[in-house]
Amino acid sequence: MLSKKIEKALNNQINAEFYSAYLYLSMSAYLQDISLTGFANWMRAQYEEEEFHALKMYDYLLERSGQVKLETVKAPPYRWKNIIDVFETVLKHEQEVTRSINELMTLAIKEHDHATANFLQWFVDEQVEEESTVSDILAQLKLVGGKGSGLFMLDREAAQRKFTPPAE
C-alpha cells in the first residue's frame, strides 16, 4: 500500500506528464503552422510518449491500490519565436521534469517504498535519454542557425520519428 505522500506525489506527476503531452501537442500545432511538418511530427510523437508516461504512472497507482485524482491540466503556450526557441523550451521543460522525477524518487526512498523507487528508476533512465536527445537536436539547430537547407534537412529527419511504446 502506498503512503498518502507517495499517492499525492504520483498524482501530481501524472498531471505534470499530461501537461507535458499538451505542451508537445501545442508545439506540434505551432510547427505545423510554420510549415515545419517534420518537427511537427516529432512533437506529435513526443506527445504520445508523454501520454504513455502519464498512463504508466496512472496504472501503477491503481495497481498499488492508490486513488487516482485527475486534476485540471494547465494550458500550454502556443507561440514561440522560432524553432530554436521551441527546442530551448523543450530542453528547459525536460530538465524540470527530471527535477520532478528526482524529487519523487527521493520521496520514495525517504518513505522506504522500494517498489515505487524501483518503478521510478525507469523514469530516471528515460529522463537521461530525453535530455540528451533534445540537447543534440538543439545543438544541430544552432549549428545551422535555425534556417536554410540545414533546417530543411533536420526537418526531414524529424519526420521519420515514430513513437513505439517500450516493451514492458
Domain count, the chain: 1
pLDDT beyond 90 at 23: yes
H or E element, residue 122 = helix 114-143
* Containing structural domain, residue 42: 4-158
pLDDT beyond 80 at 75: yes
H or E element, residue 45 = helix 37-63
Q: Is residue 24 part of a domain?
A: yes
pTM listed for this prediction: 0.95
Confidence of residue 162 (pLDDT cuts 50, 70, 90): very high
Q: Are 4 and 54 in contact (CB under 8 A)?
A: no
What pLDDT, in 10s, does the model give residues 96-115? 999 999 999 999 999 999 99
List of E strands, the chain = none
Q: Is residue 13 part of a domain?
A: yes
Tell me the average pLDDT across 61-77. Answer: 98
Q: Is residue 163 part of a domain?
A: no
Q: Can you give the CATH number for the domain in which 9 is found? A: 1.20.1260.10
- For residue 74, what is its C-alpha cell? 494547465
If you ran DSSP here, which 8-state letter would residue 72 be given? P
Q: Is residue 103 part of a domain?
A: yes
Which residue type, as a one-letter code, is found at position 89?
T
